[in-house]
Structure 1
Amino acid sequence: MLDTVLPARERARAHQLVPLLPIPATDAATAATVALGLLLLRVAAGLRRRKRRAWRIAVAATILIGLAYLLKAHRDEDGGAAVLATTLALLAMLITARARFTARSDPASRWFALRIAFQFTAAGLTLGVLTLYLNPENVEGHATFWTRLTQALAALVGATGPLRLHGERFRDGFTGSLLAIGLLTAAILVVLILRPSEPLARLSRPDEDQLRAVLHRHGHRDSLGYFALRRDKSVIWSASGKAAVTYRVLHGVILASGDPLGDPEAWPGAIAAYRELAEQYGWARAVIGCSELAATIYQRECGLRAIQLGDEAIITTSGFTLEGRPMRGVRQACTRITRAGYDVQTRYASMINPSELDDLARAADAWRGDTVERGFSMALSRLGDPADGDCVIVTAKHNGALRGLLHLVPWGNDGLSLDLMRRDHASDNGLNEYLIVKLIEAVPALGIARISLNFAVFRDAIDRGARIGAGPFLRAWRRLLIIASRWWQIDTLYRFNVKFRPSWQPRFLSYEAGRDLPRILLAALEAEAFLTRPPILKRLLRRPTGPTTGLSNDRTHVTSAGSGREYPNAQ
């Protein structure tokens, strides 16, 4: 389109730089066309998600292209008539399909984008005017402030202004720098207008109370159910209020976690509300860490495919024993820690005084190996909150000093799910194993029959890839997972879990389409805090206040980063 509006003499100057350029672009028009082409790809992505705002931009761009070719009738010999006919056909298709583009965008994006664009434009105009004032010898004749301002504005859009500039180097530098600022401004404007809305998640107090009531009745169904009470999640309810889906929105993905809460008979209603919300904003749907039953229902109600993400280690307390050769490593670790004189206590959080809880929270933070707290689907993000009195805390002391702790959340009335495992790095090796064994020995008196340990990502691939007869693909996949364990402790966590001879419960990742998997992976890694955005990017991409969804049961707000299970240093 720029070929129809930029003067040929302006483009011809750049041809003198061809020997110096390592790229095939020979003029500003070509560079601008490439930039606009990338922006149109962004618009195309918005059209694929049925964004109403992307449709409006596409219609406006198509009309401008058509008008440009109409005004440049002399270019018909270069195929302008064919381009015009194609443009009019595209415009007709867009208008005909108008009713299909219903997905809403973040209401704050429009004004935020315009403010950023205004700031960039103002900076470009200021730079242009100052440059003209500081280089009067390169400006022909007497130029007023308004003439200089007009010249700068024309340079921002790649047009010729009213002034005649001397010096080819100055002229090309002036027009090129301002055109670059103009293209950058246009790019930022389009990206911000079309960016997927990311409501800042917050679990409101009424929703939390209602979720606790649902968990009281149905919490035994899912070991991850209690983690729905993280306060950096949003929740959407079924029309009956008997089931709910908790989620967070990142990178245009509405990422649900675990199974829906509540009566399975009411799950379809909550999933339907989840699907409706995703369609309303054009978000890609995904569920991380759901059970086989939930994956089946998501597939039936939402058409989501499923892949096995890993396995959850479950210990039945009544059948656990340290006897036998397979338990030799755990048995030796426990013997070593017992001889060292560690004292272990297993208590409900409600039995511990607030000052000690504060000390435990500070110790857990101090022992954390990473700079950020991790977790979304399998972590609670807090310790010692008065609302979590039913959580179980196991502490280990040596000579009166705290050396390690476990924090477990309720799994119905007869189960616990591991939330946090931390130890002092100066403590003896094997302390984590000892804490788990002492927990298993203590909880039958509390009526606890089952304990969910850590989640082993791609456990089946790691296990089968090491067996005789494994194929080359499986062996390569296992090798890749072992390499990734240097940063994410995939293999280390599996080897720690398998020591306790648990039963394995598969967990799945449900997704809408294969083309969305890269975006879903990025959203999942950020939700679990394996990837973090730079602060400046957080401020740019996240809306500061207020809800963005129009649903009454979608309450959003910002809160602190989540806390994850601390993966043990297995010894």
Structure 2
Amino acid sequence: MSSAATAPPGSRSRGAEAAAAAPRAGRGTDPARCPGGRANPPLARRTARATIWYLRVVGVVDLLSAVSLTLRQEVAEHNSGELFTPFMLFAGFGSAAATLFMAMMLARHKRMAWLVFMALCGGYAALSVWGLCYDELRQHPFNWVSTALTLAALCCGALGRREFHGKGDRTNPQLALAVLGVGALLSVLVGTTLVTAVGPDRASVGDRVWYVGLRLATLSRDSDLEPNLHISRWVSAGLNLAGLALLLAVLYALFRSPRGRDLQSRDDEDRLRELLARHGARDSLGYFALRRDKSVIFSASGKAAVAYRVVGGVALASGDPIGDVEAWPGAIDAWLAEARDHAWIPAVMGASEEGGTVYARHGLDALELGDEAIVETDEFTLDGRAMRGVRQAYNRVRRAGYTTRIRRHRDIPADAMAQLLERADHWRDGATERGFSMALGRLGDPADGDCVMIECLDADGELKALLSFVPWGPKGLSLDLMRRDRDSENGLVEFMVLDLIERAAEVGVERVSLNFAMFRSVFEDGARLGAGPVLRLWRSALMFFSRWWQLESLYRANAKYRPIWEPRFLLFAKSAHLPRIGLASARAEGFVVAPRPLARLRRDG
């Protein structure tokens, strides 16, 4: 775990005043409205929404028709013979899934989804108009209604074209063709094998392949596809599901968001370090913007920047913008414009109250995630009854012969640093290096010479634990890495933290940011006398999940230092995006790992 922080004492009011004086963006505006923040005409927005809702309604009707025999029979009748149904109205779960997926992609303003919609809708509209040229089809009023609805959807899509601006990856068409070709080939091979295993011998191989191909693409009866075959309904249903899965995979490959900007270059890193040198004391998460798996976008003036990473179509920023607070709005505007251009969902993890206020003025909503623990070294004391447990643990570890060694990374010899890296990897919990918003992820890099390493040695001089802190301005430290030998004595981490605080003057440190405690206020307020039933229920739920995620234990581990609690916030554009943002955050932090075959798509949309 690691840390988060806020402005240094005495600077928050000045920062808040600067944030209040910053240019305001329209509160409540849709950050996914159009590229570069340009406001599209109201007609374009309304017609685009009408197109999206048209597909949503059709998808729901398709879904209902899949479970309603009467409705399914009526749709089947209109789809055959002399009648037509409105565009994309075909009975079945497959058509419902494809239609709703198309609506979802259009709702994310993806240009490729609009092109596919216009091509399909235009083709169906041409077919409907052509059908009305025949007297027998013109006699059915339903055909006129169907054609009118299809043309209306086509017109709405054309009028709302400027709303669908989201760029896709350049390789999407090739990837979609590859998925279609490979998926179809595998499906036909596997399907033909199954049909051969359960079908009669008199059917030729060509008949079986033809049947499988048609079954993957249609829901027609077996007798209509191939009269010589009598296949188990489970095999037929499995082939239909395979066809649906293939269709959705092709659409996903076609509509996926681009991977994002190139990761930060050496020049970007140098510019960020210059901004941190001048303004790094404002936010303890600032140094973590130097992670090399993040992209960075600067304001037009170059005085501020937002560091982010694209995960699952979410442009995930962390902490406050880097740099001069007066230039924050320019960096945020540039980041939101980049997200709009590529149909990414914008989100910010761990913003401070000051940074969250500026983000909120650009149309994002805020949700409190928890609190960080900040210790002011000059004010910290082990005296008093409240610190009795910590004091006793500290003295117990010291009597056992443990000592600490505190050094800047640049002062550690290369061979000693290699040994520290080896022990840190050995003590790591699992193979995945976790962290994104509050971890640097590169222990021992020569570029991070200002970081501070605390080593804990037992009575025999053997390394048993280590902590690494990144700079938080010239007078602060922010916890980055915490590793210890699980067979060592309990209390080593507390012993090292207290030794750091005790020797803070030697290191030139005035404040230390420790672990982030998620939902800290719930644990604290829910345990108080008179807490309401909703708060107690919420606390009980968090206590249950703490069995796996250590939420409550992390709060208590921080609370023992009697720190200053500073809130941290999640910023998002729409509440409907929260599930995707949560999943993207879990992936970025390393709690959810994509399977190896999907490693190529880990950051795709």
After TM superposition, list the pairs within 5 Å mapping 1:24-103 onto structure 2. 33-67=92-126, 69=128, 71=131, 74=137, 77=140, 79-103=142-166
1:553 equivalent in structure 2 = none
After TM superposition, list the pairs within 5 Å mapping 1:375-524 onto structure 2. 375-398=435-458, 399-524=460-585
Given that 1:154 and 1:161 are in contact with CA atoms closer than 8 Å, whether structure 2 keeps it comes out as no
CA–CA distance in structure 2, aligned partners of residues 132 and 480 of structure 1:
50
Alpha-carbon distance, 1:401 to partner: 0.9
CA–CA distance in structure 2, aligned partners of residues 168 and 148 of structure 1:
8
Q: Which consecutive residues of structure 1, in runs of 5 or more, have no partner in the other structure?
A: 1-20, 549-571
Alpha-carbon distance, 1:138 to partner: 3.1
Alpha-carbon distance, 1:22 to partner: 11
Given that 1:32 and 1:183 are in contact with CA atoms closer than 8 Å, whether structure 2 keeps it comes out as no
Range that drifts further, 476-485 or 368-377: 368-377
After TM superposition, list the pairs within 5 Å mapping 1:6-25 onto structure 2. none
Range that drifts further, 45-54 or 165-174: 165-174
2:11 equivalent in structure 1 = none
Given that 1:43 and 1:194 are in contact with CA atoms closer than 8 Å, whether structure 2 keeps it comes out as no
Alpha-carbon distance, 1:182 to partner: 3.6
1:339 equivalent in structure 2 = 399
1:113 equivalent in structure 2 = 176
Give aligned pairs, total. Answer: 519
After TM superposition, list the pairs within 5 Å mapping 1:190-209 onto structure 2. 190-199=251-260, 202-209=263-270
Given that 2:200 and 2:229 are in contact with CA atoms closer than 8 Å, whether structure 1 keeps it comes out as no
CA–CA distance in structure 1, aligned partners of residues 205 and 394 of structure 2:
86
What do residues 499-550 of structure 1 show as CA deviations (whole Å, max 9, x unaligned)?
Answer: 111111111111111111111111111111122222223335556xxxx9xx
Counterpart of 1:84, as a letter, is T
Corresponding position: 1:138 with 2:202: yes
Distance change (3 Å), C-alpha of 1:333 and 1:200: farther
Alpha-carbon distance, 1:196 to partner: 3.1
Distance change (3 Å), C-alpha of 1:237 and 1:446: same
Alpha-carbon distance, 1:437 to partner: 0.6
Q: TM-score, normalised by structure 2?
A: 0.79
Distance change (3 Å), C-alpha of 1:82 and 1:22: closer
Helix, strand or coil at the partner of 2:489: coil
After TM superposition, list the pairs within 5 Å mapping 1:278-427 onto structure 2. 278-300=339-361, 302-398=362-458, 399-427=460-488
CA–CA distance in structure 2, aligned partners of residues 125 and 361 of structure 1:
50
Range that drifts further, 492-501 or 59-68: 59-68
Helix, strand or coil at the partner of 1:403: strand
1:266 equivalent in structure 2 = 327
Distance change (3 Å), C-alpha of 1:127 and 1:404: closer
After TM superposition, list the pairs within 5 Å mapping 1:215-230 onto structure 2. 215-230=276-291
- Which residue of 303, 314, 331 maps to 1:253? 314
What do residues 91-141 of structure 1 show as CA deviations (whole Å, max 9, x unaligned)?
Answer: 1111111122111112222211111111122334556778899989534xx
CA–CA distance in structure 2, aligned partners of residues 362 and 421 of structure 1:
14
CA–CA distance in structure 2, aligned partners of residues 458 and 173 of structure 1:
48
CA–CA distance in structure 2, aligned partners of residues 57 and 76 of structure 1:
31
What do residues 134-187 of structure 1 show as CA deviations (whole Å, max 9, x unaligned)?
Answer: 989534xxx897x88766654543379999845451497887665554433222
Helix, strand or coil at the partner of 1:249: strand
Given that 2:356 and 2:366 are in contact with CA atoms closer than 8 Å, whether structure 1 keeps it comes out as yes
Counterpart of 2:556, as a letter, is R
CA–CA distance in structure 2, aligned partners of residues 137 and 75 of structure 1:
47
Helix, strand or coil at the partner of 2:438: coil
Given that 2:223 and 2:229 are in contact with CA atoms closer than 8 Å, whether structure 1 keeps it comes out as no
CA–CA distance in structure 2, aligned partners of residues 144 and 371 of structure 1:
48
Provide the identity percentage.
Answer: 44
- Which residue of 230, 243, 253 maps to 1:169? 230
Higher RCO (Cα < 8 Å, 6 or more apart):
2
Given that 2:195 and 2:231 are in contact with CA atoms closer than 8 Å, whether structure 1 keeps it comes out as no
Helix, strand or coil at the partner of 2:310: strand
Alpha-carbon distance, 1:200 to partner: 8.1
CA–CA distance in structure 2, aligned partners of residues 190 and 463 of structure 1:
47
Alpha-carbon distance, 1:204 to partner: 2.1
Distance change (3 Å), C-alpha of 1:54 and 1:310: same
CA–CA distance in structure 2, aligned partners of residues 149 and 168 of structure 1:
11
CA–CA distance in structure 2, aligned partners of residues 108 and 351 of structure 1:
47
Range that drifts further, 83-92 or 493-502: 83-92
Given that 1:201 and 1:234 are in contact with CA atoms closer than 8 Å, whether structure 2 keeps it comes out as yes
**RMSD of Structure 2 on Structure 1 (CA):** 3.1
